[in-house]
């Protein structure tokens, strides 16, 4: 068997295999419905011919009751099956799509790092498999159901061809061949259209971004204040026109190339009527045979009709290819099997290098850094110096592209990441605003610890959020989202306190390393001044890595390091660095001067 045909059949079998996700009951119903439909056309042609022959041969009603009843049963069965099949199709498609979305979630969650989440191609493939479908887009589920529908149509065509071959073998072969050639030709057009759709996934995503920005809540204030509505609408139209132009061009090309299918259909239709008519004129068949031949010929010819299932199938095959790419590209780090130490450890970056895929320069370049047990280390530097990347490496979210990170001398690559992450907690710059209650937001820091009032309130108090929680309508059980009835939203500074409380709750439940990335970015000056006394003192005995642009926040750290071009350029405590007169001293004096000016202005 030719390789292309083998591959073609393998893809179709894989698509049909998705039907098992529909469940035994719906799948059995679908198979029965398509089997009845496949048999009905051929059986109806025979029964109708029998009925007509009997009616012409005898005027006795009793002699035609059996063929008449058979025709009635076949017609009624066909209508009932058609009515029942539609909800079964929908149910099967939705279950298949749900199973594939679960498979995507499993693949996305499987890696221990986040490199794949920052890959645009990965995001495109995830969206490709997970799309819910609509009037323009299809889903893998509709494709699998469409493949079953196509198989039923082809089975019906073959059975009708067998009936027709009893009277006119050459006509049966001719019509079946024409039908298959027409389907193959039109399928190629659908394949091209489906691939054009896939090629413009990026443009579609950009168009959707502009549409969402215009219509959704987060940007609503600026859109109206700055009068951005017309501008955003035009951006959307530009992006949409870019990819729709290609789709429309392909569709026009498909229509222009339909002339040959039209001629084939015309020739087949002529033959389907001429041959039975000639046979009747020659006396080789009676009127019943004529009707049987015409209906059987139409049953063969009808299989060449191309409904939406053709695009459904090609679109679904594209989704399966995207799923295969996810399997290949989502590399699962083997990781080590050594448990992370239970007590505070010495962390070392040894000549660590890192660059993002496609980046033109390294973010970290030979970074050497020693972090002692229970040390409060502040990391400062200009934007792009590698501060956030450093903590991604420390938490195992990325792997170094050079050098290594050690925990008490053990390479982090040899440590079980799950056990290591049970020793680490963090407040990232872009921490998540979970649409949950205050209690649940805080408890997420250590899900294994439960959510009793005492520990939760202690973490809230340490984060300076007691007054905030007291003012909320339901206290700890207040839902923090306006998308649900009774929920409230918080300011940026209030959300930051909740995130800090979450991290402190984690520390209270055994985390030994606390990472704070710009923890005072949303706090006012007074709250920032209180931060060190309140928060850092609450985590005594824990290693703290504090990243901040606000140098007043870090001045009391045990040690401060300055990152520049991916390396440590300065290291020491606040006094030592001020005496050194380097970059830290310059930045500190600049910020202090601005703070003094703001204070005088406020006075």
The pLDDT value recorded for residue 74 is 83
CA distances from 273 to 145, 293, 379 (A): 33, 9, 85
Q: Does position 477 have pLDDT exceeding 90, yes or no?
A: yes
Pick the more confident residue, 565 or 368: 368
Q: Which of 75, 243, 287, 343 is nearest to 279 (CA)?
A: 287
Q: Does position 315 have pLDDT exceeding 60, yes or no?
A: yes
* Whether the Cβ atoms of residue 39 and residue 340 lie closer than 8 Å to each other: no
Residue 388 lies in a domain: yes
Q: What is the pLDDT of residues 57-71, one digit of tens each?
A: 665 556 677 777 887
Calculate the CA dihedral of residues 181, 186, 190, 191 and round it to 10 degrees: 30
Length of the chain: 603
Per-residue pLDDT averaged across 576-598, rounded?
80
Buried b (16+ CB within 10 A) or exposed e, 385-406: bbbbbbbbbbbbbbbbeebbbb
Q: Which of 105, 95, 102, 126 is nearest to 19 (CA)?
A: 95
Per-residue pLDDT averaged across 338-343, rounded?
82
* Whether the Cβ atoms of residue 223 and residue 230 lie closer than 8 Å to each other: no
* Whether the Cβ atoms of residue 561 and residue 371 lie closer than 8 Å to each other: no
Rounded distance between C-alpha atoms, residue 346 and residue 470, angstroms: 40
The pLDDT value recorded for residue 1 is 59
Rounded distance between C-alpha atoms, residue 402 and residue 472, angstroms: 49
Task: Give the CATH number, domain containing residue 389.
Answer: 3.40.50.300
Residue 487 lies in a domain: no
Rounded distance between C-alpha atoms, residue 115 and residue 118, angstroms: 5
Task: Give residues with Cβ within 8 angstroms of 51, minimum separation 6.
Answer: 64, 67, 68, 70, 71, 288
Task: Give residues with Cβ within 8 angstroms of 266, minimum separation 6.
Answer: none
377 — pLDDT class (breaks 50, 70, 90):
very high
Reduce the DSSP state of residue 229 to 3 states and report it. helix
For the chain, what is the domain count? Answer: 2
Same domain, 273 and 413: no
Rounded distance between C-alpha atoms, residue 280 and residue 282, angstroms: 5
Residue 492 lies in a domain: no
Q: Which of 190, 197, 199 is nearest to 255 (CA)?
A: 190
| Segment among 41-45, 339-343, 597-601 with least mean pLDDT | 597-601
The pLDDT value recorded for residue 59 is 57
* Whether the Cβ atoms of residue 211 and residue 237 lie closer than 8 Å to each other: no
| Segment among 198-202, 321-325, 455-459, 477-481 with least mean pLDDT | 198-202
Same domain, 370 and 276: no
The pLDDT value recorded for residue 600 is 46
Same domain, 323 and 354: no
Q: Which residue has the tokens 């979450």?
A: 502
Rounded distance between C-alpha atoms, residue 141 and residue 312, angstroms: 9
The pLDDT value recorded for residue 368 is 94
Rounded distance between C-alpha atoms, residue 131 and residue 26, angstroms: 23
Query: Which of 329, 362, 394 is the endpoint of a domain?
Result: 329
The pLDDT value recorded for residue 132 is 65
- Domain range for 537 is 347-423+512-602
Give the DSSP letter string of 309-373.
HHHHHHHHHHHHHHHHHHHHHS-------BPPPSS---EEEEEEEE--TT-SS-SEEEEEEEE-T
Same domain, 353 and 323: no
Same domain, 297 and 202: yes
Same domain, 522 and 567: yes
Same domain, 158 and 75: yes
Q: What is the pLDDT of residues 346-364, one digit of tens each?
A: 999 999 999 887 777 889 9
Q: What is the pLDDT of residues 378-435, one digit of tens each?
A: 999 888 888 889 999 999 899 999 999 999 989 998 998 889 989 999 999 888 999 9
Rounded distance between C-alpha atoms, residue 109 and residue 130, angstroms: 15
Q: What is the pLDDT of residues 273-308, one digit of tens each?
A: 888 888 888 888 888 888 888 888 888 877 766 667
Same domain, 551 and 406: yes
Reduce the DSSP state of residue 570 to 3 states and report it. strand
Q: Which residue has the tokens 């990347």?
A: 389
Per-residue pLDDT averaged across 560-584, rounded?
91
Q: What is the pLDDT of residues 103-132, one digit of tens each?
A: 888 888 887 888 878 777 787 788 778 876
The pLDDT value recorded for residue 220 is 77
The neighbour count for residue 213, using CB atoms within 10 Å, is: 17
Residue 124 lies in a domain: yes
The pLDDT value recorded for residue 60 is 59
Query: Which of 300, 329, 358 is the endpoint of a domain?
Result: 329
Pick the more confident residue, 463 or 335: 463
Same domain, 357 and 237: no
Q: Does position 595 have pLDDT exceeding 60, yes or no?
A: no
Q: Does position 333 have pLDDT exceeding 70, yes or no?
A: no
Task: Give residues with Cβ within 8 angstroms of 269, minimum separation 6.
Answer: 301
Reduce the DSSP state of residue 66 to 3 states and report it. helix
- Tell me the whole-structure pTM to 2 decimals: 0.76
Residue 164 lies in a domain: yes
Same domain, 248 and 372: no
- CA-derived radius of gyration, the chain: 35
Task: Give the CATH number, domain containing residue 295.
Answer: 1.20.1560.10
The pLDDT value recorded for residue 603 is 43
Starting at the earlier edge strand, list the strands of the sheet with 559-564: 424-427, 513-517, 543-547, 376-381, 559-564, 567-572
Q: Does position 235 have pLDDT exceeding 70, yes or no?
A: yes
* Whether the Cβ atoms of residue 140 and residue 97 lie closer than 8 Å to each other: yes
Mean pLDDT score of the chain:
84
Q: Does position 601 have pLDDT exceeding 60, yes or no?
A: no
Q: What is the pLDDT of residues 413-422, one digit of tens each?
A: 899 888 998 9
Rounded distance between C-alpha atoms, residue 204 and residue 114, angstroms: 24
Q: Does position 332 have pLDDT exceeding 80, yes or no?
A: no
Q: What is the pLDDT of residues 152-178, one digit of tens each?
A: 888 988 999 998 889 889 888 888 888
Residue 478 lies in a domain: no
Residue 218 lies in a domain: yes
Same domain, 147 and 36: yes
Residue 466 lies in a domain: no
Q: What is the pLDDT of residues 173-222, one digit of tens each?
A: 888 888 888 777 777 777 777 777 777 777 777 888 888 888 877 777 78
The pLDDT value recorded for residue 135 is 45
Buried b (16+ CB within 10 A) or exposed e, 336-370: beeebbeebbebbbbebbbbeeeeeebbbbbbebb
Residue 474, both tokens: 């339901």
Q: What is the pLDDT of residues 507-537, one digit of tens each?
A: 999 899 999 998 877 777 677 767 777 888 8
The neighbour count for residue 29, using CB atoms within 10 Å, is: 19
Same domain, 306 and 401: no
Query: Which of 276, 298, 329 is the endpoint of a domain?
Result: 329
């Amino acid at each position: 068997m030719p390789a292309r045909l083998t591959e073609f059949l393998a893809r179709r079998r894989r698509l049909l295999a998705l039907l098992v996700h529909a469940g035994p009951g719906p799948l059995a119903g679908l198979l029965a419905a398509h089997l009845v439909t496949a048999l009905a056309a051929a059986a109806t042609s025979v029964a109708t011919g029998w009925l007509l022959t009997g009616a012409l041969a005898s005027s006795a009603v009793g002699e035609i009751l059996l063929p008449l009843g058979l025709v009635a049963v076949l017609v009624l069965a066909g209508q009932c099956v058609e009515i029942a099949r539609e909800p079964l199709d929908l149910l099967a498609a939705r279950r298949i799509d749900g199973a594939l979305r679960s498979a995507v979630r499993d693949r996305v969650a499987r890696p221990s790092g986040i490199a794949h989440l920052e890959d645009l191609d990965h995001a495109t493939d995830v969206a490709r498999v997970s799309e819910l479908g609509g009037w323009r887009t299809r889903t893998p589920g509709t494709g699998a159901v469409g493949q079953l529908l196509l198989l039923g149509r082809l089975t019906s065509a073959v059975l009708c061809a067998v009936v027709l071959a009893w009277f006119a073998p050459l006509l049966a072969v001719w019509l079946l061949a024409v039908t298959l050639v027409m389907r193959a030709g039109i399928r190629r057009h659908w394949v091209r259209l489906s691939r054009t759709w896939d090629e413009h996934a990026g443009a579609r995503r950009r168009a959707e971004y502009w549409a969402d920005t215009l219509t959704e809540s987060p940007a609503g204030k600026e859109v109206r204040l700055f009068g951005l509505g017309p501008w955003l609408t035009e951006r959307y139209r530009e992006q949409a026109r870019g990819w729709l132009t290609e789709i429309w061009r392909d569709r026009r090309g498909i229509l222009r190339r339909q002339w040959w299918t039209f001629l084939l259909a015309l020739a087949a239709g002529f033959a389907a009527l001429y041959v039975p008519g000639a046979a009747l004129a020659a006396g080789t068949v009676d009127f019943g045979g004529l009707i049987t031949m015409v209906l059987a010929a139409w049953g063969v010819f009808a299989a060449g009709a191309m409904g939406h299932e053709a695009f459904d199938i090609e679109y679904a095959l594209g989704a399966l290819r995207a799923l295969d790419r996810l399997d290949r590209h989502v590399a699962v780090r083997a990781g080590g099997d050594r448990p992370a130490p239970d007590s505070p450890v010495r962390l070392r970056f040894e000549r660590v290098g890192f660059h993002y895929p496609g980046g033109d320069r390294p973010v970290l370049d030979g970074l050497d850094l020693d972090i002692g047990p229970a040390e409060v280390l502040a990391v400062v530097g200009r934007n792009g110096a590698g501060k956030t990347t450093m903590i991604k490496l420390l938490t195992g979210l990325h792997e170094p592209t050079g050098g290594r990170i050690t925990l008490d001398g053990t390479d982090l690559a040899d440590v079980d990441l799950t056990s290591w992450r049970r020793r680490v907690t963090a407040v990232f710059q872009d921490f998540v605003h979970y649409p949950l209650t205050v209690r649940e937001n805080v408890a997420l820091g250590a899900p294994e610890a439960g959510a009793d009032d005492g520990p939760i309130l202690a973490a809230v108090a340490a984060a300076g959020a007691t007054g905030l929680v007291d003012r909320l309508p339901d206290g700890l059980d207040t839902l923090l989202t306006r998308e649900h009835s009774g929920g409230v939203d918080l300011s940026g500074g209030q959300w930051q306190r909740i995130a800090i409380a979450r991290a402190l709750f984690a520390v209270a439940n055994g985390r030994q390393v606390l990472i704070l990335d710009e923890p005072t970015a949303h706090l006012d000056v007074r709250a920032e001044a209180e931060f060190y006394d309140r928060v850092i003192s609450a985590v005594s005995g824990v290693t703290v890595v504090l990243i901040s642009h606000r140098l007043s926040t870090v001045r009391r750290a045990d040690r401060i390091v300055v990152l520049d071009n991916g390396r440590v350029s300065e290291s020491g405590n606040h006094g030592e660095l001020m005496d050194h007169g380097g970059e830290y001293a310059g930045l500190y004096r600049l910020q202090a001067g601005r703070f003094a000016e703001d204070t005088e202005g406020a006075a």
